[in-house]
Amino acid sequence: MRTSSRALIIGFALALGSAGRAVALDAVASGRVPPEVFASAREALRSGVRDYNAGDKAGAVRALEFAAEQGYVLASWKLGRMYAQGDGVGQDDLKAYEYFSRIADDNADEAPDSPRAGVVASAFVALGGYYLDGIKNTPVGVNPERAAEMYSYAASYFGDPTAQYLLARLYLDGTGVDRDERQAARWFNLAAEKGHPAAQALLGRILVNGQGVPRQRARGLMWLELAKKNADPKRDAWISALHAELFDAASDADRHTALAFLEKFQTRRR
């Protein structure tokens, strides 16, 4: 339900919850009558999604802001993504960072098996990226140690595969943490088991080369084969290149064993 009428805003204010009522009445009192007032934050969220899918990004932002102000995590996450990508709004990493920070601050204890857990975990991942690179001309500077904390929390508490992959990369490179190839292999393995193609590829390389772990050429080739099957051929061309490089250098016996491992792995997952 929507209206742009000043008179009807008062009527809506009576039907809203305390937070929504305060927003509406404050808008009337200050003369800042919003172009749309929603009957509830849930309705605002639904309207924002509808508007976004219909291509009305301005309408989506208005609705999502209404829902986000009343604590709807999905609304804050969508706004963060829009500002991060410049999707229908001016690209603004600091604004995106603020939305993701709000999610992380308010929902760090979200149950890992809840429907919102994936959104909260992705907010931690996004914050890790901002700390890793910093945001130019803002107080958010480069802080790899803080990035590692963000990835580690999402990887361990929420079991998020992207966070596990990114944390493994930090251990592999010694960025924000002490370099530890064994830890890198551990986190790559956790993400690989969940179907993360890049993690599968880098775990495969580690096992083939024996980087910090016992060399297991055939098992490494198995992960590379899985990575190639799961990867996007255009976006992940490096995975195909790595696959070709290591398979070409492998013995016939290792390639044969790798395919046998792969068949067992896929049978176990059915």
Count Cβ atoms within 10 A of the Cβ of residue 109 and give its class: 0-12 exposed, 13-18 middle, 19 or more buried.
Answer: exposed
Q: Which residue has the tokens 């016996």?
A: 253
Shared-domain flag, residues 31 and 46: yes
Rounded CA separation 235/215 (Å): 29
Shared-domain flag, residues 60 and 87: no
Alpha carbon 268 to its chain centroid, in Å, reads: 28
Counting the structural domains of the chain, the total is 2
Confidence of residue 52 (pLDDT cuts 50, 70, 90): very high
- Out of 109, 136, 159, pick the residue that ends a domain: 159
Rounded CA separation 190/43 (Å): 38
* Residue 190 amino acid letter: L
Shared-domain flag, residues 46 and 81: no
What is the token pair recorded at 205? Answer: 């390389």
Shared-domain flag, residues 81 and 66: no
- Out of 17, 36, 70, pick the residue that ends a domain: 70
Rounded CA separation 246/226 (Å): 14
Rounded CA separation 130/150 (Å): 10
pLDDT in tens, 230-244: 999 899 999 999 999
- Domain span at residue 130? 73-159
| Residue 33 domain-assigned (yes or no) | yes
- 195 contacts: CB under 8 Å, gap ≥ 6: 161, 230
* Residue 88 three-state SS: coil
- CA 24, 26, 31, 35: dihedral to nearest 10 degrees? -30
Q: How many CB atoms lie within 10 A of CB 166?
A: 25
Global pTM value: 0.84
Rounded CA separation 147/125 (Å): 8
| Residue 259 domain-assigned (yes or no) | no
pLDDT in tens, 117-152: 999 999 999 999 999 999 999 999 999 999 999 999
- Out of 159, 178, 198, pick the residue that ends a domain: 159
Shared-domain flag, residues 122 and 47: no
Shared-domain flag, residues 60 and 77: no
pLDDT in tens, 172-186: 999 999 999 999 999
| Residue 219 domain-assigned (yes or no) | no
